Chains A and B, each alone.
Chain A
């Protein structure tokens, strides 16, 4: 049986949206799949050496369950984002959900290939030294090459 392939595009840099690409990639790798993730725009945040700055915001996120109802003007106050992030991480830990760092490490250990979008790296003036080692830099053509041969292809 030919090895299955999955190609993902990760475009978001918030805590909630960072999970799907890493969960799918680590799982597919455990199933023996070849996996490549193309990180572009805000998804580049997921390649930074430290993932500590990845946050979740209740603002403009009305579906996020809150312990108490919170009007939008309160959600705007300084520190609310950090507080929401802290509470979410705490809840995740209690429920046995892996940290982003752990999932990313599993992806790297299991040979998931990370590709950073060169155009958005330049757009946001990132330095390659800000990102983890072992990643590749490329553009849409690089992604299409792998995506064209993939069995599963998702834009996240």
Chain B
């Protein structure tokens, strides 16, 4: 049925264990390595959030063994205020960079972008291998800060200057902790730049015959758009980190102003601009939000279409909307700086595109909802998480309307309202995208099926749990609960402590639900039921045309030829309710016949 032709392999299959599983140049192995790294990072990040939540709910509760992490940061197994901030910083950094960027973009993108484009591999496989290992080294450098000096930095994942640039005098972790943080992120940037180079070139140059750009699945489009953002955003964050490191180790004054007195000590810097760091960071930081979420949009669209058995209302408009999100993401970064003292005219200039960017977001959501309307959705773990993604994206996105306006943002910017907003729209939604992709592509990646019952239990606990955690955050924010406090001792905050306790319980339960997923993942990998065939979900894109798991060069000794748009479902006159992209089967449109 499928039209294939012979081809020459790009590079031979590796023979040794090291070249096959460790220093592999096979994009599929690299994708799995990225996934494993993201999983490890997520466990670390989730563990840190548990510790923080327990501390916020019951501040005097001694967590057994916590002193092993830091005897000075957790004497008697109870967090010090500074160490709370240090753990919070590491939680944010690990989750944003090494989970939300790594899993949906680098992991799934590496595994499936070449396959969905019909390529044997990425065009620069050695760069691809370097991309992963550089990222891994970046993770190790970041984790090393737990064990160096007085621990990791406490400045938050945004590392605002001047605190981040003044050195050890700024507090625990503000010396070597910041240097290691900035080094880690600079290394991470190099890894993502190498990855973006491969993703872009794969999409533009490696497509198989017949695979026009518009015939690419939405997931491939999402990875392509994300890689363009990655190329431009990480290329800006890297020099920012270099300048920050120089302020520490070379005594330069990029970010530290003159005559700054900390702890009765005049710092030997002059004239630095604290706002410069914010400009450089947020020029990266806001696109980073979309780097985390756009791959999820693509994955969720791909999963939903397969389970709806019909394409989205408009393939093109969805692609254009994701592209618009990417373009606009560079014009809105100033909304993170509304309270930095910027000129009100500037605030207006950043507020307007921030409101405009809700238009493509809304279009994407309306296309999803409109397409779902009336469809006979196949309910499974993947489609449930895809629906959950939409729910989280809407819930988190709605609060963005409020924060986009400077007058409201001034009241809410440093409260739990913002924490609830970005956790829902960027964190949980992206995580649900990762889960949707995992349940959907697991058979293709491993040849085995994940346990469906456990998957549904995982979904419902995560879905309800996430709302129990993050919706109350909005209430806390409106009530004036300031973020980044390790204890709530002010009169107006004390009545809110029961809400925090509720959130902590919800966080622990939701966290345990993730352990169900972990068990399901590992158990299914080795003992799960074998995938019934190469195309268990009856999908149409190229990953379902090849063997399960795919061979070294993706398509064996035959390369695909593409005849169709990516999502041909319920086609009149077709022998099945779907036509694969590689099928030469001709079905004429009634409109065309007229």
A, B assembled together: no
